[in-house]
Chains A and B, each alone.
Chain A
Amino acid sequence: MKETQAHQIEKDLKINYGPNKKFITVCAGTGCRAYGSLKVKEALEAELAKQNMQVDVLATGCLGFCEKGPMIVIHPDKYFYHSVKVEDVPEIVSKTIAKGEVISKLLYRDPDTKKTLFREEDLPFYKKQLRVVFGKNGMLEPTRIEDYLAIDGYQALGKVLSEMTPDDVINEVKKAGLRGRGGGGFPAAVKWEGVRRAHGDPKYVIANGDEGDPGAYMDRSLMEGNPHSVIEGMIIGAYTVGSNEGYIYVRNEYPLAVTHLTLAIEAAKKMGLLGKNILGTDFSFDIHISKGAGAFVCGESSALFASIEGRAGEPRAKYVHAVEKGLWDKPTVLNNVETWANVPLIINKGADWYASIGTEGSKGTKIFSLVGKINNTGLVEVPMGTTLYEIIYDMGGGIPGGRKFKAVQTGGPSGGCIPESLLDIPVDFDKLYEVGSMMGSGGMIVMDETSCMVDVARYFLAFLKEESCGKCVPCREGVKRMSDILEDICAGKGKDGDIEILEEMSKAITDGSLCALGGSAPNPVMSTIRYFREEYDAHIKEHRCPAGVCKALITYSIDAEKCTGCGLCAKVCSVRAITGEKKKAHIIDKDKCTRCGACIQSCKFDAINVK
C-alpha cells in the first residue's frame, strides 16, 4: 500500500520538459540577480508574448559560473549565453528561439584556444566538474516543487519509506562513506547511528545553513537553488533516527534562501511529503526555519542550539555529545546543508556508485567556491581528490592580469593558506589537514602577488576577535593579543620575537579553547608563518610590505615615463595630494597621500608605483 501510494504521487506529478521541448532557463542566483538577470527574464517573457511564442522561461538557481552572469540556457539545443543584457533579448527571441540560429557574441569564447563554445558542458569551467549535487540547480525553478519531482525528486524518500528500514539507510550511508560537508568531515552515518540508539525523546534533525566562512557560498546556492534536495535529505535522516521535528538554521544574510526554503516546506506539506503521515505511512516529520542574527560562532553546534533556543549563541563544553544531548538537551543530528543534499543521491544511485567517486578517505563530490584573485569566480563541484591546480587553473582559468599566484586560502577563518609548491595535492579532508589547512565548508580564496600574507592573517584574526563569543579566556584574550601583534606588524611596529610569541600563543589557544572557533583560530597565522615567513621578516625587520598592501609600509609614486599627464588621478584624489600640469608627468605629495588607492584604480597607463 505504502509503495503504490509513494510512487503514484510522484508519477502523477511528473512534468516532462522532454528532450524536444523548447524552454529557456535564466540563472537567478544571487550573483546573477545582482547583474540584472531578473530584468532579462522579464524582458524575455515580454518579447516572447510580443512575438506570439509559447515558450516557458524558468528562473533557476545558481549555475555556478558567477563571473559571467546573467546566464541563460536555451533548450532543447542547450545553447549557453553569458553576460546577457536586456538589449540582447529581442535578437535572442527572433533569432535563437524562432529560428534556432546562435548569436555568437553571447557565446563563450575559450580565452586559450579562442574557440567559440556552444554548450555549458564544453566550457573549460564546467568540463572537469562532476555536478551531481549542484548541477540540478539549472534544471528547476526552486519555487516549484513540480520541477524537482520531474527530475526524480522525492524518489529517494519514496524508496526509503517503502523498501528500507532505518538500519538499511544507516548501512547504505555508511557504505557510501559520506562525511560531513560543514568542515569537520565526521562520518554522517556514525552520527545518525548515535542518535538512533540514544535515549531521549523527542529527537531532532537540524540542517546547518549558517554558512559563516567568509568567501564560501555553496550552501546559500543549494538552499536558494534546490531547497527540496536539502529537505528530502532531512526527511530521510529523520526517518532513520526516529525524529518528528527538525530545523533549518539559516544565516541572517541569506533572505532569498529563507524565502525559497519556506515555500519549499509549504509545498512539500501540501503534497504529503512533509507533515503528518508522510506518503501515507505512519511516519510524521515537520521542519521549522530558524534565522540566525549575524554571529559566526553559531555555526558551532552547541552555539547553534543555544541560538535556536532563543539565547545568545555561546558554545558549551562537549563532555556529552550532541547525539546524546543537543537541542533542548535531546538527541540531535546536526548536518550541514550540503551533507543533507547528498543523501537523496546516495539512496537513488546506491552506495557503491557514490563510493566509487573520490579518494580512499573522502567519498563523493565537494562544492567549492572559487573566489578572490581568479579569472572564473564561481562554484565548482568536483570529485574529492581533484588537485588544487586543476581547480584553480583548469576550471578557474588562473590569475587575472597575468599576475603570479601566491596562495589559496581554504577552510575559512579556521583554515590556512596553501602555497604554490603544494598545488598538486589532491583535495580531500585528510590531505588539507595534513598541509595545515582544512576543508571547512569549501571556500577557496585565491591570492596573487598583490595579496599580503601578513595582512591576510591580520584580517582573519581581526575577524575572529570580533566573533569570539567571549566565554572562554584563551579565545577571548588570546585571539585579541594575537590580533594586536599582527596589527602592529602591519603598522610597521613589529618587533624581533613577535613571530615566536605568535607561535607560542597559537599552541596555548589551540589547547585551551572551549570550542572549535578558538581551537582553530591560530591556523591562519600558523600556516602563513609556515609558508611565508619571509613576508613576516620583511615587515618586522625591513619595515617593508612586499605585496604593497600594508599602508604604513608603502609609498605611492608616479612613473614619469608612463604618466601622460591626463590629470585623472589628481581629479579623483580626495586629499589633493597629486599635482602637475596637463600633459606633463604628475607628482604625489607623500605627506598628504593617504594611500587609498583611488589613483591606481583611475590610472589607465599603469603609471602609479607602490613600494
Chain B
Amino acid sequence: MTKTENVAAATKAIIKKQGNSKSALIAVLQDIQETFNYLPKDALKTASKTMNVPLSRVYEAATFYSAFSLKPRGKNIVKICKGTACHVRGAAALQDRFESTLCIKPGETTPDRMFSLETVNCVGACALGPVVVINTDYHGQVTINKVDKIIDKIKKEGA
C-alpha cells in the first residue's frame, strides 16, 4: 500500500469505530491526530468523503481547535502552561528560554523532528507552577536554569 492508501485505511477504521455520524467529527479528528501525531491532508480528505462532511467544514474544525496540528509534530511535545498562576510565577520567561534553547517558536518543530513547542492555557496543576508538560510527564516549578537540563536529558534518552 502507498502512504496515501495507508492513511486512508487508518482513517476509515477510525471513522468506523467512532460511528459515521457528523457529530463524531471532532472525535474522529482527535483519533487521527493520536494515530499520526498530526492531521495529514489525506486523512482530512478521507474523513470528508466518508463522513459526508464538506472538506471546508472539516478544515474549519481542524483549524478552529488549538489541539489540532496540520503540520507533522516532533517526537517530544513540550507544552508550556500559560495559565494565570504559571504566568505570575514566570511562565513567559520560561517560554523565552525554551524558544532560544530549541530555536523554535510555539507551533513549530525542530528540523530533526525531535521537539515541538506548544503553549497551553492551563493544565490545572497550579501548585506546580510554572509547569511544563513534556509528552505525558509534568515538570513542576521549572526554573529558567533547569530548561537546558530537561532538554538534554530527553535528548540523551532518545539517542
Contact = CB atoms under 8 A, between A and B. Distances in A.
B61 A312 contact: yes
Given A253-B122, A253-B123, A293-B26, A373 B65 contact: no
Interface residues of B, number: 48
A373 B67 contact: no
Given A459-B84, A598-B97, A312 B64 contact: yes
Contact of A312 (B22, B27, B60, B120): B60
Contacts of A601: 143-145
A244 B27 CA distance: 22
A214 B144 contact: no
B57 interface: yes
B24 to A, nearest CB: 6
A371 B126 contact: yes
Interface stretch (A26-34, A170-178, A503-511): A26-34
Given A34-B138, A372-B85, A445-B85, A216 B30 contact: no
A313 B88 contact: no
A213 B121 CA distance: 8
A76 interface: no
A371 B144 contact: no
Interface in B49-101: 53, 57, 60-61, 64-68, 82-85, 87-90, 93, 96-97, 100
A574 B87 CA distance: 22
Given A69-B127, A371-B85, A371-B126, A291 B26 contact: yes
Closest 6 CB pairs of A and B: A217-B124, A66-B127, A293-B65, A214-B83, A34-B138, A310-B25
A603 B64 CA distance: 43
Nearest to B143: A601
B140 A35 contact: yes
Contact of A371 (B25, B30, B57, B129): B129
Among A33, A254, A296, A307, max chain B CB count under 10 A is at: A307
5 contacts: A67-B127, A217-B126, A294-B120, A372-B85, A601-B145
Contacts of B140: 34-35
Nearest to B137: A34
Q: Bin chain A's interface residue count.
A: 35 or more
Interface in A235-260: 252-255
Contacts of A31: 125, 127-128
Given A35-B140, A214-B84, A371 B127 contact: yes
Interface in B22-46: 22-27, 29-30
B89 A372 contact: yes
Nearest to B84: A215
Contacts of B124: 30, 211, 216-217, 220-221, 253-254
Contacts of B93: 596-597
Given A310-B22, A463-B121, A66 B126 contact: yes
A373 B61 CA distance: 37
Contacts, number: 160
A463 B81 CA distance: 12
B144 A596 contact: yes
B127 A212 contact: no
Interface string A252-273: 1111000000000000000000
A94 B73 CA distance: 49
Contact of B96 (A213, A290, A311, A596): A596
A309 B27 CA distance: 11
A214 B122 contact: yes
A463 B87 CA distance: 11
B25 A451 contact: no
B71 to A, nearest CB: 16
A116 interface: no
B29 A293 contact: yes
Given A292-B65, A601-B143, 19 more contacts: A30-B124, A30-B138, A33-B138, A66-B126, A253-B123, A253-B124, A293-B29, A293-B67, A295-B64, A310-B23, A312-B61, A371-B129, A372-B84, A372-B89, A373-B89, A377-B129, A412-B84, A463-B121, A602-B145
Nearest to B66: A294
A278 B61 CA distance: 37
A593 to B, nearest CB: 13
A378 interface: yes
A174 to B, nearest CB: 32
Interface in B132-149: 136, 138-140, 143-145
Contacts of B123: 30, 253
A265 B87 CA distance: 36
B24 A310 contact: yes
A213 B122 contact: yes
A451 B90 CA distance: 10
A236 B96 CA distance: 49
Interface string A283-307: 0000000111111100000000001
A558 interface: no
Nearest to A253: B123
A188 B93 CA distance: 42
Contacts of B90: 597
A215 B122 contact: yes
A445 B88 contact: yes
Interface string B95-117: 01100100000000000000000
Nearest to A374: B85
Contacts of A460: 84
B126 A215 contact: yes
A230 to B, nearest CB: 16
A456 interface: yes
A33 B26 CA distance: 29
A34 B141 CA distance: 11
Nearest to A289: B27
Nearest to B51: A310
Contacts of B25: 310-311
Interface string A15-41: 000000000000000110111000000
Contact of B120 (A215, A253, A602): A253
